A and B are shown apart, each in its own frame.
Chain A
Amino acid sequence: MSTETKRAAPKAAAKEKGKASNNGADAKHDDFHGTTPELRRELLHSMLVQRRFEEKCAEAYALGKIGGFCHLYIGQEAISTGVMSMIRPDDYIITAYRDHGQALARGISPRAIMAELFGREAGCSHGKGGSMHLFDANTNFLGGHGIVGGHVPIAAGVGFAIKYRRGNQVCVCFFGEAAVNIGAFHEALNLASLWNLPVIFIIENNRYGMGTAISRSTANEDVVVRAQGYRMDGESVDGQDVFAVRDCIERAVERARKEKRPTLIEMRTYRFMGHSMSDAVSGTYRSKEELEENMKRDPILVLHNRMYEAGELTEGEMHKMDDEAKAIAQDAWDFADASPEPPLDQLYTDVYSDTTS
């Protein structure tokens, strides 16, 4: 299928990490955490594709080509890229509505994602899901879910199924820090720990639930301590550093596959855009200065600078890579724009399955 071209995922990534040190102990001796130059380029490329793709999303939204709610991931790309580079094709991913980055990093075709955002039949959910509900059975991408925290127990259920079948996959579940105050989060953590389920719960702490700062929503801002309440391992890492993300996920994946134990991870990050495309980037709830300060730790810049300083990436190469990312985003736009809308007879398809076992 034509939508299967131009994948953004770092394919060789999971294999490469084998050489990395544990716990980042010798990180000082090896700033690149055992990664190869090729892998680092793939990681940078993956993040750049997400960034350029979402910039096109913002443009398309302004033009009315994308409708509804559209939550951009810009500023958080090291998390999606880092996580996806450490898991296997047969592992499962489930996420909330800020899902474009994870979908791209997982390897769903940018064309299929953009077509979904445009509400086209060629979209990865055939135009029935939209921005918040990206699904792709080929990559075990179990959706984009729109109710804060509602999908966290579903992740535990996927973990339950893995255990039921005596498999050794993991289920990775992404959600924002605002979800830690939802009952579903707590119920899921309890069950995952009680039943030893191979689930990695990732809190992407971008510090704002829509316009409410974590200090105004959460009695204990150290959200990862909630793992202790459920006798679960927990870890808090710099979500702007793709290597820190990868190291942490490596430990969690090992724990899930070998010990069949869940992990709660806080990825400390920052949302560079508004909550959704219809919300202000800054203003009443956060200052421009705070935003600008945090944008200095743009995850793409963080990786780029390290590669640049190590002398393994020239400005020319960076420009070339960036141009490639822009071309992928433009190609996705062009594809989506030229794609037909779903035929009206699909209105009533997939309400029910007509099959039985």
Chain B
Amino acid sequence: MAVLTYRDALTQALREELQRDDRVFLMGEEVAQYNGAYKVSKGLLDEFGPMRIVDTPITELGFAGVGVGAAMVGLRPIVEFMTWNFALLALDEVVNAAAKMLYMSGGQYKMPMVFRGPNGAALQLAAQHSQAWESWLAHIPGLKVLTPGTPADAKGLLKSAIRDDNPVVFLEGEMLYNTKGEVPEEDYLTPIGVAELKRQGDHCSLITHGKMVLVAMRVADDLAKEGINIDVVDLRTVRPIDVEAISKSVQKTNRAVVLEEGWEICGMGSQVVDFIQRECFDDLDAPVLRVHQEEVPMPYAKNLERAAKPDAGKTVAAIKKVMYLD
């Protein structure tokens, strides 16, 4: 298998799907001439031309709506938000238009489109540029919400998203773009709604998604040195969510920690814990704990930012607590 960066895996997915279907086009700020703010669309303008790789003004609500309109009449837009923080300006088109069109038209208008871009915090970007939106978006029936944490999943899930006839929210990570991993050489799709057990162990289940998968893998490595072996359940998709994979793991380990990048209240972890109490009530040997961002807007100062973020140390502590080891 080839080793690729998360960024290059995404670019490959875009290129392959643009080649496969001429209804697919990419639009967003700086995606064409500039090669993408994060270079995910590098080289695509040269290959596909300005009608299919479309630079937009800074007008998120406008171009998200353009994507919705184009999808309604049969194109397959990929709308890139430079970051999901800016997508808040466009949420009416994502939530009120794209997510509901099929339903409120009684099944007449499909929305084959992808809204994608980096989600969550990077480094010292402060409060307005450091937020993880998946629990907001996963709340909406009609949307699918994908959160790949590895290059292989990034490629396979983006290809699935582009081929899906529903509006798909595709959450990448600025801090993930340079990470590397093995990516299959052959044409493949990663199924939407299927979690992956990325590490196996009997002592505890660590359930996570997106950027936190990397943290979870580090935690698994660290704990293994102490003789603690954990399951790392990478949800990969938070809507639809793979409840079976969660319960299967928890039924085996009898303990769980849920790790996410976003805030505590109404976070993805709240939902996962709800599934666990429903499906695994009699299996639990300890209350389920959650690790998440502290309940503050993201501060700028390095030390404060570090303290605000979920990390390996907080996760290890939570796992030891549910194992009654601390």
Contact of B165 with A355 in the complex, beta carbons under 8 Å: yes
At the interface, yes or no: A124 with Cβ under 8 Å from chain B? yes
Which chain B positions have C-beta within 8 A of A257? none
Contacts A92-B73, A190-B59, A352-B102 known; list 4 others, CB within 8 Å: A154-B93, A156-B65, A161-B69, A194-B57
Which chain A positions have C-beta within 8 A of B165? 353, 355-357
Contact of A159 with B102 in the complex, beta carbons under 8 Å: no
B192 to A, closest residue via Cβ: A356
| Alpha-carbon separation in the docked complex, A128 to B57 (Å) | 35
19 example contacts (A-B, Cβ-Cβ < 8 A) are as follows A125-B105, A126-B106, A135-B108, A143-B109, A147-B92, A147-B96, A162-B73, A164-B75, A171-B69, A184-B65, A187-B62, A188-B65, A190-B62, A349-B107, A350-B102, A353-B165, A356-B165, A357-B23, A357-B165
Which chain A positions have C-beta within 8 A of B59? 187, 190-191
Which chain B positions have C-beta within 8 A of A142? 69, 72-73, 109
Taking chain A's interface residues, is the majority helix, strand, or loop, or is none over half, making it mixed? mixed
The answer to whether residues A135 and B57 also contact, given A143-B109, A150-B93 and a CB cut-off of 8 A, is: no
**B107-141 Cβ-contact flags toward A at 8 Å (1 or 0):** 11110100000000000000000000000000001
Contact of A153 with B163 in the complex, beta carbons under 8 Å: no
Across the interface, B70 reaches (CB within 8 A) one of A124, A137, A161, A194, namely A161
Contact of B97 with A128 in the complex, beta carbons under 8 Å: no
At the interface, yes or no: A145 with Cβ under 8 Å from chain B? yes
At the interface, yes or no: B21 with Cβ under 8 Å from chain A? yes
Contact of B166 with A154 in the complex, beta carbons under 8 Å: no
| Alpha-carbon separation in the docked complex, A14 to B92 (Å) | 35
The answer to whether residues A351 and B103 also contact, given A147-B92, A164-B75, A184-B61 and a CB cut-off of 8 A, is: yes
Contact of A133 with B65 in the complex, beta carbons under 8 Å: no
At the interface, yes or no: A157 with Cβ under 8 Å from chain B? yes
| Alpha-carbon separation in the docked complex, A352 to B25 (Å) | 22
**B71-87 Cβ-contact flags toward A at 8 Å (1 or 0):** 11111110000000000
| Alpha-carbon separation in the docked complex, A153 to B61 (Å) | 8
At the interface, yes or no: A332 with Cβ under 8 Å from chain B? no
Contact of B106 with A160 in the complex, beta carbons under 8 Å: no
Which chain B positions have C-beta within 8 A of A160? 66, 69-70, 75
Contact of B97 with A129 in the complex, beta carbons under 8 Å: no
Contact of B75 with A357 in the complex, beta carbons under 8 Å: no
**A93-123 Cβ-contact flags toward B at 8 Å (1 or 0):** 0100000000000000000000000000001
Contact of A154 with B65 in the complex, beta carbons under 8 Å: yes
On chain A, the number of residues with a Cβ less than 8 Å from chain B's Cβ atoms is: 48
Interface footprint category on B: 35 or more
At the interface, yes or no: A152 with Cβ under 8 Å from chain B? yes
Contact of B105 with A135 in the complex, beta carbons under 8 Å: yes
A15 to nearest B CB, angstroms? 25
| Alpha-carbon separation in the docked complex, A218 to B58 (Å) | 25
**B215-254 Cβ-contact flags toward A at 8 Å (1 or 0):** 0000000000000000000000000000000000000000
Contact of A350 with B69 in the complex, beta carbons under 8 Å: no
| Alpha-carbon separation in the docked complex, A282 to B56 (Å) | 44
Contact of A153 with B166 in the complex, beta carbons under 8 Å: no
A308 to nearest B CB, angstroms? 41
The answer to whether residues A161 and B75 also contact, given A150-B93, A352-B166 and a CB cut-off of 8 A, is: yes
A199 to B, closest residue via Cβ: B69
Contact of B105 with A143 in the complex, beta carbons under 8 Å: yes
At the interface, yes or no: B262 with Cβ under 8 Å from chain A? no
At the interface, yes or no: A136 with Cβ under 8 Å from chain B? yes
Across the interface, B72 reaches (CB within 8 A) one of A157, A350, A355, A357, namely A157
Which chain B positions have C-beta within 8 A of A159? 69
Contact of B69 with A158 in the complex, beta carbons under 8 Å: yes
Residues 11-33 of B contacting A (Cβ, < 8 Å): 21, 23, 25
Residues 253-277 of B contacting A (Cβ, < 8 Å): none
At the interface, yes or no: B204 with Cβ under 8 Å from chain A? no
Contact of B69 with A357 in the complex, beta carbons under 8 Å: no
| Alpha-carbon separation in the docked complex, A355 to B192 (Å) | 13
